[in-house]
A and B are shown apart, each in its own frame.
Chain A
Amino acid sequence: MSNNSLVSISDYSKEEILAILDSAAEFEANPNRKTLDGNVIATLFFEPSTRTRLSFETAVIRLGGSIIGFSDAATSSSSKGETLNDTIHMVSCYADAIVMRHPLEGAARYASEVSPVPIINAGDGANQHPSQTLLDLYSILKTQKTLENLNICLVGDLKYGRTVHSLIMAMSHFNPTFKFIAPDELKMPDEYKVFCRKNNILYTESCELHDNFNDADIFYMTRVQKERFQDLMEYERVKNVYTLKNEMLVNSKPNLKILHPLPRVNEIDPDVDSNEKAYYFQQAQNGLYVRQAIVSKVLAPKLTNGTEEKS
């Protein structure tokens, strides 16, 4: 078992989170390095996620590492009934680290327990997606110059949206104030509100979206994901409830930035794209630098040992 895996954002302390963000800033200044020269990274995508996979693969290639893997379970041995345990053991014979996305929740934690090489969780069902959380933090830090004492407005699907849940956990180190805006069917689950109260984090809730976020520093919009609904009637009913339009931003703070994990469907009107407060495309680009920092961190013990052997 490798204990250098990244499965959940709660695996990292405040200091480790800040170190990743520092490291990401260095990669942004100089993204092309050869620090992973000779290393092989496996990207095992048991369910497709083109955006996340390309981001991780670009991060590895820009660091001089090589990629093996698959982008869809249909083309892998799991379609023949191989267990995750066996796939991980097989792949760890070839790769120095494994980036994995799996539809089953807890798959990455389990893989980290049976794998001899580090696992990076690129999403396990609706559970955890820590590299998304770290790139969200990086985007917040980069645009606000601090993570401390910010007003953060979380909007959209707060019930099923794992990115907002992880963001609450991660921001809890930095004294935030939250505003949760969601339709009744998709409001923030109690366990996260209990978490806020226990950590003395102030929050308010609303089920309407107009211009009621004028004190916000960050407006974090999420998509109402069709695949999270068992009842498609309910999906049709709520999917168009929230659309952010340019006119809602007239009285917002000058430092406000609009974030979105993407892909966007119709929850942000295209007329917002030209507003300088829109930050979602730069946010996606920040993901590259953050993933370079993550891959470098999980492989750091191996890279350090390799240097010692050579000297």
Chain B
Amino acid sequence: MEKELKVAALRNGTVIDHIPADKLYKVVYILHLDVCEHQITIGNNLESAKVGKKGIIKISDRAFAEDETNKIALIAPNAKINIIRDFQVVEKRPLTLPDEIKEIVQCANPVCITNNQPVSTRFHVLNLDDEVILKCHYCEREVKRDNVKIK
């Protein structure tokens, strides 16, 4: 049986695949795709053997810097990023959480210096009992990955 393409193929650009369906719009938000002027195709609640229901985003003629894709690793660690040129996948970029995350996460502590003065946020990424925890470099408050607030 011929495989049916639910989302149109991309000539050049970036495909973000295997996003859990409930995280799709968060990825849209943290990559600022709501104000991106390139052609974008978004599919959600597509059937996936791996994650049940998945989302996919295809952005034409656009590449992303690594600190941008790092943001995705925080909320959708198993998403796949493919760079497409001339309908071919030329790069599969692995998503890896860095040891330290700067600026993109907001500290959950309302009396942290970073929430009250012009100080960039900085978090240490810790693996405790198979759970990813972000610890604020300044106020030392710890937050679980699921509760991370993206700026």
- How near does chain B come to A190, taking the closest CB pair, in angstroms? 10
Asked if B138 contacts A103 (CB within 8 A), the reply is: no
> Which residue from B128, B138, B142 sits with its C-beta under 8 Å from A109?
B138
Q: A83-B118, A194-B128 are in contact. Are A110 and B113 (CB under 8 A)?
A: yes
Interface residues of B, dominant DSSP: loop
Asked if B137 contacts A84 (CB within 8 A), the reply is: no
Asked if A127 contacts B140 (CB within 8 A), the reply is: yes
Asked if A84 contacts B113 (CB within 8 A), the reply is: yes
Asked if A106 contacts B128 (CB within 8 A), the reply is: no
Instruction: Find residues 79-134 in chain B having any chain A CB closer than 8 Å to their own CB.
Output: 109, 111-114, 116-119, 128-129
Answer whether residue B7 sits at the interface, using C-beta atoms and an 8 A cutoff.
no
Asked if B140 contacts A104 (CB within 8 A), the reply is: no
> Which residue from A84, A104, A128 sits with its C-beta under 8 Å from B111?
A104
Answer whether residue A8 sits at the interface, using C-beta atoms and an 8 A cutoff.
yes
Q: A8-B140, A125-B139, A127-B140 are in contact. Are A105 and B113 (CB under 8 A)?
A: yes
Asked if B117 contacts A104 (CB within 8 A), the reply is: yes
> Which residue from B109, B128, B142 sits with its C-beta under 8 Å from A105?
B109
List chain B residues, Cβ under 8 A from A105.
109, 111-113, 138-141
- How near does chain A come to B61, taking the closest CB pair, in angstroms? 40
Answer whether residue B76 sits at the interface, using C-beta atoms and an 8 A cutoff.
no
Known: A106-B140, A110-B117, A127-B140. 18 other contacts (CB 8 A): A8-B140, A84-B113, A85-B117, A85-B118, A102-B113, A104-B111, A106-B112, A106-B114, A106-B137, A106-B139, A109-B113, A109-B137, A110-B138, A125-B139, A127-B139, A128-B140, A191-B142, A194-B129
A-B contact pairs, 12 of them (CB 8 A): A85-B117, A102-B113, A104-B111, A105-B112, A105-B138, A105-B141, A106-B114, A110-B117, A125-B139, A126-B111, A127-B140, A191-B142
